[in-house]
Amino acid sequence: MLIIFNQLMRYLPVLVVIFFFIACTAQLKVPTSLDAQRGANRWENYDSLKLAEGFSLYKNKCGHCHNLHLPKEFAKMNLDSVMIEMSLKAKLNAEQTASIEKYLWVMMTDTL
């Protein structure tokens, strides 16, 4: 019994770090049809598929290099300047940049 306890104690620091990383990592909300409606109110022909594309690009392109910010965090920043800088670093084309920017705008606004 003491041997098992000693083995577990050896891994305790690693387990604590993993736990805090998981617990403190903000989770992105999966976009819904209501979110897509907010986008459709702003842009013509915007729909759930376009929102899902922006969500996917944000997770895969932006999340490839760094931890993702929750979209609401961009409300405190200048989204345009952030997108210019990051799209250059991520080598995004204009369509991908616009898709991500629209996704972030939709998800950081709450009301229709």
| One-character DSSP codes across 48-81 | HHHHHHHHHHIIIIITTTSPPPPGGGGGGS-HHH
Number of domains in the chain: 1
Residues 6 or more apart from 97 whose CB is under 8 A from it?
83, 87
Over the stretch 72-109, which tens digit does the pLDDT of each residue have? 888 777 888 889 999 999 999 999 999 999 999 999 88
Q: At what angle do helices 48-57 and 33-42 cross, to 10 degrees?
A: 100
Structure tokens at 56: 């996917």
Tell me what pLDDT residue 21 has.
47
Q: Is residue 100 part of a domain?
A: yes
Arithmetic mean of pLDDT over the chain: 83
Q: Is residue 101 part of a domain?
A: yes
Over the stretch 7-58, which tens digit does the pLDDT of each residue have? 666 766 665 555 544 444 458 888 999 999 999 999 999 999 999 999 999 9
Which residue range(s) make up the domain with 67?
30-108
Tell me the whole-structure pTM to 2 decimals: 0.73
Q: Is residue 83 part of a domain?
A: yes
Q: Pick from 37, 55, 56: which is nearest to 47 by CA?
A: 37
